[in-house]
Amino acid sequence: MNILVAGGTYKNQKTRIDKQFSMVGGHVIARLLGRYSEHDIHLHTNLSSEEQTLMKNLRESLRKDFISTEYIEKVPAPFGILTDDGIEAFSNVFESARLHRRNDKFFRDFGAFILTTDINERDFRYLRSYAHNNNIPLIIITAGEYRLAPSHPDDVIIPLEETDGLPLYHMQLHEIHKALLEVKVDQRPLITNRLQNKDPVDEGTFKKPAKLLTQLVIFATGLALAIFLIMSLFEWFSGPESQEADIDWQQTVDHPDCSTVEECTALGDAYLEALGEYIDISQEPYVFFENRPRRTYHDYAVDDGNLELIEEVRELPGEVEDYLRYYDEFEALFPDAYTDQIDIFRLFSDGEGNTLAYVDISEEETILAMDFRDNTHKAARYRTHIHEFAHIYSLPAEDFTDGCAGTTELDCLKEDTLMHDYINRFWDGYGGEWLENRYKSQAERDAFFANNITDFHVPYQAVNPKEDYAVAFTMFVTREIPEETGLLRDTKVRAMYEDPEHVALRTEILDNLLTLERAGG
């Protein structure tokens, strides 16, 4: 009998566990079955086409464990990585299971599916649904990487304990083996207690170069067509319905130097071009990421633009005045109506990388916090200022009901507010469970971004609608209007030109940026 195992593949870079396994993830269950099952084991997983030597060695190792690698998919991303701090999913977020369904018969060749929850969630749902619809026995082994929806009553569910939502299948192989001993498929045991005497899998090679070339051409053509069809269906069925922005270029704008959307857009573009003589606002610094706890250093009360130290938790390195200039810049860039809302300016750090800045908005106070280690690069700091201003602008405390107890939880948004309308327009199609992804596992966040990659410019934008808006607003200010591509990520930016208040803000911010740079920064 043929058994399909679908599991993730990660490089093991944990330092506090047994290093017997250099490659970990759900695919190790295929190794277990290959050695101890009488059945023919086939593995579906994603391997990295960017790491050819490692991929080749892994394939050879799997075949020696009596596993067919015919249905493994190569994807253009690094291998996922398991570290002491968590996982980076990388190649595992690619949706690839459907590429192997060459005809309706393909998956029906298998007598059972064994799925782990460290693969792309859409692949998982697809394989699970296919098993249910075609009466294929299904065994699910989960380390809790994402929440399982209610399953078929005949499914075998094996939950693993003490995994913290990480794909630590290699550390619980004994327990998995024991659980699978109780499973039978078509009245036959799925696995035994005896090592099987099998020959390593030889998937063969093409003996004639001409035949090889023909096969490769056919495969490439079929794969390209499959990807095209999948992406077409994906764009049709998934995510919010794409819609173009409806810009009235002659709409009136309240600005002293321009009077219509068209005039103010052109004026803002002129400021942006002139700014290029002083600074490349899109320049990205090299960032070395550190994982440190977030620590507050200084808190300052803000009174009419003046800063007064109210708490010194720990001493700042370097000259304090250099860091206080960050607030001076922020106040210089944005209208007083918004900067006057800031009650506390905080200097903190969590090491290089990670959180660059944040705002904490409540009925009692608004805190603007900046990581002093991450904001030494001027262009990046300007973009950070704009990003945090976008939060202050789009999340005023009065837009939230009393049920939020002074916080900005999205389920407490009042109707007909800026963020409420933004969610209805651009996030309604994802489902309520994806409105807040900050607390989901890294694998879930990576998968959500990968499955909706044309909706977002960067992964951080997909964390929640708040960050989505802030990233789109930053691009709206610091770039010219994108072309009408039909992609949702560009529509979000173009849609800001529908609102005269947004256009006026863009013009004012760019004018202030240019003035700041002309004055020597």
Query: pLDDT tens-digit profile of 238-250?
Result: 455 557 899 999 9
Indicate the CATH number for domain 2-189.
3.40.1190.20
Q: How confident is the model at residue 491 (pLDDT cuts 50, 70, 90)?
A: very high
Task: Say if CB 34 and CB 16 are below 8 A apart.
Answer: no
Distance between CA atoms of 397 and 90, rounded to whole angstroms? 37
For residue 126, count other CB atoms closer than 10 A to its CB: 17
Q: Does residue 454 have a pLDDT over 70?
A: yes
Burial zone of 488 (CB within 10 Å; 0-12 exposed, 13-18 middle, 19+ buried): buried
Average pLDDT in the 87-94 region? Answer: 86
Give the position of tokens 């030109």.
497
Q: What residues have CB less than 8 Å from 177, skipping those under 6 apart? A: 32, 36, 191
The pLDDT of residue 293 is above 60: yes
d(CA 330, CA 393): 13
pLDDT-wise least confident of 107-111, 293-297, 354-358: 107-111
Distance of alpha carbon 175 from alpha carbon 48, whole angstroms: 29
pLDDT (0 to 100) of residue 500: 97
Please say if the pLDDT value at position 34 is more than 90: yes
Q: Where are the domains of the chain?
A: 2-189, 238-285+391-521, 287-376
The pLDDT value recorded for residue 230 is 47
For 410-426, the pLDDT digits (tens) are 888 899 999 999 999 99
Which amino acid, one-letter code, is at 487?
A: L
The span from the CA of 282 to the CA of 285, in Å, is: 10
Which percentage of the chain shows pLDDT scores above 90? 58
Q: Which residue has the higher pLDDT, 393 or 401?
A: 393
> Rounded distance, CA 123 to CA 101, Å?
12
Give residue 469's pLDDT band: very low, low, confident or very high (50, 70, 90). very high
Calculate what percentage of the chain has a pLDDT beyond 70: 87
What 3 state SS string does 124-149 have? HHHHHHHHHHCCCCEEEEECCCCCCC
CB 387 within 8 A of CB 473: yes
Span 12-36, mean pLDDT? 85
Has residue 207 got a pLDDT over 50?
Answer: no
Structure tokens at 204: 């063969």
Closest CA to 9 of 85, 135, 94, 68: 94
Banded model confidence at residue 289, pLDDT cuts 50, 70, 90:
low
Flag the least confident range among 290-304, 364-378, 421-435, 448-462.
290-304
Distance CA 137, CA 38 (A): 17
- Give the mean pLDDT of the chain: 86
Higher pLDDT, 404 or 301: 301
Helix (H) or strand (E) holding 279: none
- What CA–CA distance (Å, rounded) separates 427 from 433? 11
pTM: 0.57
Q: Which residues contact 354 (CB under 8 A, 6 or more apart)?
A: 289, 290, 291, 292, 294, 371, 374
The token duo for 319 is: 């000259």
Instruction: State the residue for tokens 């001076």.
Output: 328
What's the confidence (pLDDT) of residue 112? 94
| Nearest partner of 430 among 408, 449, 417, judged by Cα | 449
Q: How confident is the model at residue 210 (pLDDT cuts 50, 70, 90)?
A: very low
pLDDT of 487 over the 60 cut: yes
- Per-residue pLDDT for 344 more than 80? yes
Distance, in Å, from the CA atom of 416 to the CA atom of 423, rounded to the nearest integer, reads 11
Q: What is the C-alpha to C-alpha distance for residues 372 and 275, in angstroms, rounded to an integer?
A: 25
Phi and psi angles of residue 361, each rounded to the nearest 5 degrees, phi first: -110, 125
Question: Taking 80 as the threshold, does the pLDDT of residue 229 lie above it?
Answer: no
Conformational region of residue 353, where left means phi above 0, alpha means psi within -120 to 50, and beta covers everything else: left
- Mean pLDDT, rounded, for 60-66: 92
Q: Is the pLDDT of residue 334 over 80?
A: yes
pLDDT band at 106 (very low <50, low <70, confident <90, very high): low
